[in-house]
Chains A and B, each alone.
Chain A
Amino acid sequence: MSDFNEVIILKLFQMKRFPFVFWMVLLLFLINSCNLDSLDMNKLSKEVNLNPALVAPVVKANISVWDLIQSANTGNEDVLTKDPVTGLIKIVYRQNDLFTYNVRDFLKFPSQQAFSSGDKQLGEISPANVSISKNITLNDLVNNTNGALDEIVPLNGTNSNFPAASYNGPDSQYSLNSITDFRTISLSKGTLEINLDNKLKVPVTITGSLYDIGFNRKITNFTFANINPDATSKTSVSLAGVQMSSQIEFRMSTFQTPGSSTPVYIDLADYFNISFDLVNLGISNGNLKVTAQTLEGYSGVFGFTFPEPDLKAFKAVLKKGSLLIKTTNSSKLTGAINFSLDEIKRNGVPVIASIPLSGNSTTIDLSGTEINFSSDQAQPYNQIPYTFSLQVNGSNGYIDYASTDAIKMDITLNGLEFKSIHGDFGKRLIEIDPGNFDMNVDLLNKIDGGFKLANPKLELILHNSIGMPGTINLDFTASNKDGKTAPLSPPAFDIPVPANISAGAATKSIVFDKSNSNIVNFIALPPTGQISYSGKVDFNKTTPVTLLNPNFLDVDATFGIDMVMELPMELQISNLAFKDTSAITGSDYEKLESADLIVNSTNGIPLDIDMQLFFIDTLQNTQLGSSKKTKILTAAQVNSSGAITPVKATQTFSLDSSEMVNLRKANGIVFSGTVSSPSGGAGVATILSDSKLELNVVIKAKVNL
């Protein structure tokens, strides 16, 4: 210390204000010397330089293949099934109603038919029997025999021997009551029965005739010989071809009696009775009164015409329909037609109708009726037989009648709807219009490249109500997203035919597998695009049709084809590629210097899986880099009998620092993997639902904090 400094110090010590000055100087020294720069946290860099390498399990899972596959096929879970016995997983794609055919379109049915009976002549009419009788007394005889029986007059009232008598003409006339049933008629048939009832006390022999006064001609002569007292006698004469009027009389040509040998009481009031009965008359024409009666019936057939010219209908059931009948009557008769369609039955009862002859139309409901078109042996198809008769009302007066008067029936079938039909439908063809469908199996959409399923199957389930033998030629063509196609090339096959129309739809399952089709390559495409199909069905191509072996169909039934694609997961694949792209924000990985994904697995699935990541810039459409392709799962072992033994392995998927740089630049990441079945794809990997994949995924990352 220099002298100068010592002086200064001593001066300072001697100063009264020294303590204050000293403290101030000390305080200033402390404050000025304080370096707080190193504690200015505003200058703290964000660089932490902390780079721990962290290991932590991220996820674990003990999952069945079933769960795994279900998750990869989200939203379409129904497509996947598992065999209840073996657990084999199957992709089952079902396309119900792949093809449906409206059977109503199969045959064309008429909705209307018109028939006419044509003019049907009425023919003879049969009036009631006509009976006219006459009592002729001894007094009448006395008065009309020109005195031949005058001897009797004095004996009147006495018991005397009746004297023999003989009258030989001329004809004595005895009037008869007029016939009220007609005025004039021409008979096509009939019989005149003449009866003599002798109430005289002596035998008589009489000859005479029935005389038509209207036409002034004799109708017939007759003789009753030696008719004893109280005896009767009858003689019959045919009236066929006779024209007669209602005014007739009995003309007696001769009368003879031997008289009595013993006294008898003679009474001039004694008589004999003669009657004339017109029986079983058939009138072809005339002016007459018609009694209520049924005229003889008629029968015929209507020919049913179908739009299909070669269709031969044997029988049919109508769902709906009506029969309209209109008559045309040229006669003076009134009444009705009893119309019967014996082969159109409802509940087994023929359809009948009473149709007035007045010309009004009548409608018959045919709903639910069954028509037999085959009753005619000569043409056992498309024929509807009918019969009818006339129910004639009794006339109020005399009408003219001629057997040539005619009745005509015009019949119309309206609103016909057929329920079913049997017959010979002829050779027919159904075109299965081209169609397509998309299996839309998410699992298939996520894979790329070829693979093969060992036993894929495509099953067609046919539902057929048409009673016709037929053969289907159907083809499927699969396409993938790249436009490649593969045909299924299945064989033709027969459709199922129901045993009878009541048997319902017949169902048949047709399976196309590797033995009868190209289905292995068809599925191997894989069909990620559309599957198109087309085909045809040929009916009655070879089998003859008979009444006993008819075609039939119910128009309400269907012809349809359901499809089931069954793809058992028996895979034979080699480096099958699958991809999935996810959007990322690369900057999220700024803090990661490197990362290892350690996959500890016990794999019960016989598939090797390799994974590679591609880092992409979707805006520039460029690939920024990729990871190394790394195996992440080792396939389970499969022995010769197919038994699966899980394999435990640890695989590490690494992203080094340069790969992380590319990851950070990317805005998208493509997960690209390959899957192979055992033996590098040569073996078949059977994917069982209960196979387990036990995973423990560990991330080992160097973090730049």
Chain B
Amino acid sequence: MKNILTKIGIISLIVMAIYSTVSAQESTTLQFMKGMPQSDLQNPALHNDSSSVVIGLPGMSGVYFDFNSGFAVNDLIHKGTGMLADSLVLDIEGFHSSLSTTNSIQQNLSFPLFYLGFRSKKSFFSIGVTEKEVAQFTFDKSLVTFLKDGNAEYMGQNFDLGNLKMNAFDYTEMAFGYSNEVIKNKLTVGVKAKALLGKFALKTERMNMKVETAADGSSLNLSTDIKINMSMPATPEYDQDNNLTGMNTDNLNPKDFVMQTGNMGMAFDLGAVYKLTPKITLSGSIVDLGKVSFKKDLISLNKVSNYNWVGIDFSNSIDSTNANYVDPADLIKNETTKMENAFRPKKSDVGSEVFDVTIPTKIYLGGTYQLNNQFSIGLLDRLYKNGDISTNTVTLSANAMLANFLSLTGSYSMIGKSTNNLGMGLAMRLGLMQMYFVSDNLMALADPAKANYVNVRFGMNLLFGRKHKPVSE
């Protein structure tokens, strides 16, 4: 039965990996790294460190950063051949080939401001305050196809450039965690309740562009359908024709911006750790199940535009003696104005709608096999879902605890279609202080241009009352 479940799980992970785009969001190498208190970020029931008290201080407890995309810089820019062997060349064709139907570029930044965790018998309590920022840009391959091929091949068609999405938000997370060993030496469950204080958000509900080229080329119809919600301390500005000209941020007060509480949200982490056998431990969690409702400083832009370009109409610019004569120089100016008016948002297009931003949710399923007291191997699957984007990561790790002060983990991850990801985690204890560094893709550091994604977490913990042996073991 176990074998069947294991097989089903592995097959499912592979399928998900194949059909998911690349993403990251928190190092998967971290989860089974021995002696790391931050493992509860991915599973509130999982505590790889046995310390009684863990403290993370502002500015010292570290930072997490990741950047990832479905393509590497090398797909777009790489060394040339022949005469250009010593140069970098733009390879639009190669870049296009590397793209999926839908592509995203994501970036996460997490900056812990404070963390306190303590153990009480079989329970673990934690409280943490973290500043988080998420940015995501999504585009369809068709956009690049259009740029690469032009529209000549699509005469008579309405070419859909796809949906563009630019989402970004920033919030403060106040997390309260609790875990308990509900079945002694078998099952530990944990939960985190997170209060989310939204600061800023940009959410693209719709940003669709289409280019329709007439069969005889006599017209180009450009249409867009855009809806963007924003929450930001800015005031839209308009010209005398009620055209949106920009955002005024003169009244921005940084203190009010940081301390604002008008955009509240909630999220939960749920996790469980089940020790199947003395050597095999299974774990599963759902992290960041929640959303932030933005209700303050709202700006929503809802604009459907259509512009039909039929060329400069010289009908009244041929005969300068004609009473309706228009100077050709004015034609271009008029057409430019017409185009601007077609796409420039009006005051009537701008509103203030309340909107929700769903926190990217992560689902972790994994397990470890303990080879001996110092070494274990782990297999972890993470499903990441952020709106329409879902990403699956499978990580195989070898985790060691050497000489009680050194934790070392090596990992190999398949992140989406990217298979060349060798990661490493390293934590070293110097008395009460623990320094750590974790990355899922060390090779990105060796050759960033070829990396689809980069992530790194590093920082320092203060550990008190640590037992020799990690509690999970």
Is there a chain B Cβ closer than 8 Å to A60's Cβ? yes
Is there a chain A Cβ closer than 8 Å to B250's Cβ? no
| B319 A67 Cβ-Cβ under 8 A | yes
Is there a chain A Cβ closer than 8 Å to B327's Cβ? no
Residues in chain A near residue B315, CB distance under 8 A: 60-63, 67
| A58 B312 Cβ-Cβ under 8 A | yes
Give residues 58-84 of A contacting B (CB, 8 Å): 58-63, 66-68, 70-71, 74, 77
Grouping DSSP codes into helix (H, G, I), strand (E, B) and loop, the B interface class, with mixed when no group exceeds half, is mixed
| A49 B314 Cβ-Cβ under 8 A | no
Which residue of the partner chain A has the closest CB to B448?
A39
Which of the candidate stretches B83-91, B178-186, B267-275 sits at the interface with the other chain? B83-91
Which of the candidate stretches B24-32, B102-110, B213-221, B229-237 sits at the interface with the other chain? B213-221
Is there a chain B Cβ closer than 8 Å to A26's Cβ? yes
Which of B90, B319, B442 is within 8 Å of A49, CB to CB? B90
| A700 B314 Cβ-Cβ under 8 A | no
Is there a chain B Cβ closer than 8 Å to A1's Cβ? no
Give residues 31-77 of B contacting A (CB, 8 Å): 73-74, 77
Which residue of the partner chain B has the closest CB to A34?
B445
Is there a chain B Cβ closer than 8 Å to A41's Cβ? yes
Which residue of the partner chain B has the closest CB to A31?
B445
Is there a chain B Cβ closer than 8 Å to A139's Cβ? no
> What are the interface flags for A569-608 relative to B under an 8 Å C-beta threshold, 1 for contact and 0 otherwise?
0000000000000000000000000000010100000000
Give residues 13-49 of A contacting B (CB, 8 Å): 13, 19, 22-23, 26, 30, 33-36, 38-41, 43-45, 47-49
| A57 B217 Cβ-Cβ under 8 A | yes
Is there a chain A Cβ closer than 8 Å to B241's Cβ? no
> What are the interface flags for B294-314 relative to A under an 8 Å C-beta threshold, 1 for contact and 0 otherwise?
000000000000000111111
| A696 B78 Cβ-Cβ under 8 A | no
Which of the candidate stretches B151-159, B251-259, B366-374 sits at the interface with the other chain? B151-159
**Which of A38, A53, A63, A70 has the most CB atoms of chain B within a 10 A radius of its CB?**
A38
| A57 B220 Cβ-Cβ under 8 A | yes
| A47 B151 Cβ-Cβ under 8 A | no
> What are the interface flags for B123-152 relative to A under an 8 Å C-beta threshold, 1 for contact and 0 otherwise?
000000000000000000000001111111
Residues in chain A near residue B437, CB distance under 8 A: 26
| A71 B309 Cβ-Cβ under 8 A | no
| A700 B90 Cβ-Cβ under 8 A | no
Which residue of the partner chain A has the closest CB to B324?
A67
Which of A52, A62, A77, A698 is within 8 Å of B150, CB to CB? A52
Grouping DSSP codes into helix (H, G, I), strand (E, B) and loop, the A interface class, with mixed when no group exceeds half, is mixed
Which residue of the partner chain B has the closest CB to A32?
B446
| A57 B74 Cβ-Cβ under 8 A | no
| A55 B151 Cβ-Cβ under 8 A | yes
| B428 A44 Cβ-Cβ under 8 A | no
| B219 A57 Cβ-Cβ under 8 A | yes
| A54 B77 Cβ-Cβ under 8 A | no
Give complex CA distance A13, B374 in Å.
Answer: 15
Which of B88, B321, B447 is within 8 Å of A77, CB to CB? B321
| B428 A19 Cβ-Cβ under 8 A | yes
Which residue of the partner chain A has the closest CB to B91?
A49
Give complex CA distance A696, B311 in Å.
Answer: 8
Is there a chain B Cβ closer than 8 Å to A650's Cβ? yes
Contact A58 to B151, CB < 8 A, known contacts A26-B426, A45-B87, A49-B91: no
Is there a chain B Cβ closer than 8 Å to A643's Cβ? no
Is there a chain B Cβ closer than 8 Å to A7's Cβ? no
| B92 A49 Cβ-Cβ under 8 A | yes
Is there a chain A Cβ closer than 8 Å to B403's Cβ? yes
Which of B78, B320, B403, B430 is within 8 Å of A74, CB to CB? B320
| B89 A19 Cβ-Cβ under 8 A | no
Is there a chain B Cβ closer than 8 Å to A378's Cβ? no
Is there a chain B Cβ closer than 8 Å to A619's Cβ? no
| B310 A43 Cβ-Cβ under 8 A | no
Give complex CA distance A56, B151 in Å.
Answer: 9
| B312 A49 Cβ-Cβ under 8 A | no
Contact A39 to B318, CB < 8 A, known contacts A56-B217, A60-B313: no
Which residue of the partner chain A has the closest CB to B311?
A57
| A47 B89 Cβ-Cβ under 8 A | yes
**Which of A43, A57, A58 has the most CB atoms of chain B within a 10 A radius of its CB?**
A57
Give complex CA distance A72, B151 in Å.
Answer: 34
| B78 A600 Cβ-Cβ under 8 A | no
Is there a chain B Cβ closer than 8 Å to A503's Cβ? no
Give complex CA distance A61, B449 in Å.
Answer: 51
| B311 A59 Cβ-Cβ under 8 A | yes
A-B contact pairs, 13 of them (CB 8 A): A19-B428, A22-B428, A23-B435, A34-B447, A38-B88, A39-B448, A44-B88, A45-B84, A47-B84, A74-B320, A77-B321, A697-B311, A698-B218
- Leading 8 A-B pairs by shortest Cβ distance: A52-B150, A38-B449, A53-B152, A698-B217, A57-B311, A67-B319, A70-B319, A45-B87
